[in-house]
């Protein structure tokens, strides 16, 4: 859904043709959005999963700030 919403400025750019841009430039920007989306969807979940349980300090001991 968000990927489709990110295409809205590209479509507006193509329709407005403010600086001479048209559909070819809009399609290039849409392709770049789709590539970044694909990278994020494939890499971010694997980066968010931890391989081992985090180590915690035993309760009752002093907390070290530095």
**Per-residue model confidence as pLDDT tens digits over 3-46:** 888 899 889 988 998 878 889 999 999 999 999 999 988 988 88
Is this structure's pTM higher than 0.75? no
pLDDT value at position 63?
63
Q: Does a structural domain hold residue 30?
A: yes
What does the radius of gyration of the chain's CA atoms come to, in whole angstroms? 22
Q: Does a structural domain hold residue 40?
A: yes
Name the residue with tokens 């489709």.
4
Q: Does a structural domain hold residue 55?
A: no
Q: Does a structural domain hold residue 50?
A: no
Of 43 and 65, the structure prediction assigns the larger pLDDT to: 43
- Token duo for residue 29: 């920007």
Structural domain containing residue 39: 6-44
Q: How many domains does the chain have?
A: 1
Say what angle helices 23-48 and 8-16 make with each other, to 10 degrees.
170
Q: Does a structural domain hold residue 23?
A: yes
Q: Does a structural domain hold residue 32?
A: yes
Q: Does a structural domain hold residue 35?
A: yes
């Amino acid at each position: 859904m968000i990927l489709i919403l990110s295409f809205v400025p590209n479509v507006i750019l193509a329709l407005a043709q403010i600086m001479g841009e048209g559909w070819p430039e809009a399609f290039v920007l849409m392709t770049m959005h789709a590539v970044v989306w694909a990278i994020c969807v494939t890499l971010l979940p694997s980066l968010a999963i931890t391989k081992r349980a985090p180590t915690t300090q035993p309760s009752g001991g002093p907390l070290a700030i530095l």
